[in-house]
Chain A
Amino acid sequence: MRRMSGPSGVGIGWRPEIAGFVADLPGLRFVEVVAEAVAPAGPLPDGLTELRARDVTVVPHGVRLSLGGAEPVDPARVAHLAAVATALDAPLVSEHIAFVRAGGLEAGHLLPLPRSREAVAAVVANVRRARAELPVPLALEPIAALFDWPDDELDEADFLTEILDATDALLLLDVANVHANARNRGGDPAALLDRLPLERIAYVHVAGGAEAGGFYHDTHTDPVPAAVLDLVRELCARRRPPALLLERDGHYPPAAELRGELDALAAASGYPVVT
C-alpha cells in the first residue's frame, strides 16, 4: 500500500455521526480521526475505508496519551496509536501538549502544564519515548486552558518552542485554542503567531466555541466565531499552513450549515472549497 500524502487543503474531523456528510464532500483530501476510537485489529469503520479508497489522508489524533504527564507515557497507549497509524496508512499522527491523568485519577479532559523547564523536560522525554515506537512523525498540539499554573518560568511561545526544538515533532496549531487562551488567560494572539515556528506546522485546527460565564469555551459544538476566522487570516498572511481542519464534536448542524463552515475556512485560507 502506498503511503498517503501529508495533510493538504481544507479538511474535517471524521466522526461516525457525520460520516455520511463527510463521504459526500467531493473535494475532500484530508480528515482526522480520534485515535482512541479506532480498533486497529478489527475492521475499520466503513466511512474510513471508503475515504482510504479515495486516497483521502486520514490522520489519527490521540487524546489520551498524556504526553505532559510527569510519569512515563503508557507503552500500551503508544502501541495502540502506532497500530492505528499503520492501519490507516497515515503519514503522521498527532497528540496534545497536556496531561489527562495523575495520581491514579482520570481528569477526563486535557489539562495544561506549568510553563516550566521541569514540564518541558517531562514532555520531551515522553515525546521521545513515543517517537521510538511510532512508525510516522508526531505533531504536537498546544491546548486551550481556562487557567494558568501560578509559577510559569516561560511564556507560551518559549514553552512551545523549547519543546519543539528538543524533539523532532511537528506543530499542530489550533487557532481556536490560540484565540481561547488569549481571551481567557491574556496575551495578544497575533503576537503569539509572530513568535511561533510556523514553518513546522503540519496542519491547523479550527473549531467553534461560545462565551459562557465570563470565559470563552472551546466547545467544538458551536459555530466558528468571526474572531477565529480573523486569526486564520492573520496566520495565512504570515505563512499559510499546508492544511486546515474543522473540528466539530457534537450538536451537529444541518449539512448546509456545516458546508458553510468549511467554505468559510476555504475562503479565509485561500484553499479550494471542498464542498
Chain B
Amino acid sequence: MSGDLAARQAELVATLVAGGPLPPGFAAAPVEAARRALRRKRAGDVARHWPLLAAGLGADWPAVFVDWAAGRPTNGSLRDGWDLARELRDRGTLPPLGADELAWREAANRYDGRGTPRRRRLPALARSGGAVVVQFAGRVRLLRPAPR
C-alpha cells in the first residue's frame, strides 16, 4: 500500500472538484453531499468575477449563491454569476450594486445564456433594476446607477 495514499488522495480530489468518477468503495450519497458543500467555496470564486453583485448582497452572498448553484454544474465563474444576476433581476431581488454591474456587462457583451459571452460590435443600451448603461464603440458608461 506504500505510495498508494498519494494516488488515492488525488483521485478523491478529482471526484470532488473536477467531475472525476466515484473512487471504488466510496458511498455515493455522502461524497455527493461533500461535493455540494464545496459549492459554498465556489461562491467565493464567483464573487471575485462579480464583486459588485457579491458586495451588494453582503453577508447573504454565500447562501444566495449556494441556493442558486444547487443542481447546476458550473459554466465558469463569469457565466455562473451572470445567470444568477439575471435570475435575481427577474425575481426583483437584485441589489442596486449588482444591477449596475449586470447592466454594465449586458451593454458591453452579448450573452445568450448558453454560450460564451461575446463582446458587442454595435452600440447598445442596457437597463437593469433602474441602472442604465450605454456602450458605443466598445466604450461603456454608466448613465444612471440603480436607485439606492
Contacts and interface: CB of A to CB of B under 8 A. Distances in A.
Interface in B14-39: 14, 16-18, 24-27, 29-31, 33-34, 36-38
Given A118-B1, A149-B26, A102 B59 contact: no
* Secondary structure class of chain A's binding surface, majority of residues: loop
Interface stretch (A52-60, A88-96, A105-113, A167-175): A105-113
Given A101-B13, A105-B13, A105-B14, A70 B6 contact: yes
A122 interface: yes
Given A102-B6, A107-B17, A184 B25 contact: no
A114 B5 CA distance: 9
B5 A119 contact: yes
* Secondary structure class of chain B's binding surface, majority of residues: helix
Given A71-B6, A145-B34, A252 B18 contact: no
Contact of A146 (B1, B34, B59): B34
B41 A109 contact: yes
Nearest to B10: A103
B132 to A, nearest CB: 33
A24 B31 CA distance: 41
A185 B37 CA distance: 16
Interface residues of A, number: 38
Contacts of B31: 146-147
A215 B35 CA distance: 13
Contacts of A151: 25
Contacts of A69: 9
A215 B27 CA distance: 14
Contact of B9 (A70, A106, A108, A215): A70
Interface in B71-111: none
Interface in A182-217: 184-185, 213-215, 217
B2 to A, nearest CB: 7
B112 interface: no
Interface of A: 17, 69-71, 99, 101-109, 111, 114, 116, 118-119, 122, 145-151, 184-185, 213-215, 217, 219, 221, 250-252
Interface of B: 1-14, 16-18, 24-27, 29-31, 33-34, 36-38, 40-42, 59-60, 62-63
Q: Lowest 4 CB-CB distances: which A-B pairs, in order? A: A103-B10, A150-B25, A147-B30, A70-B6
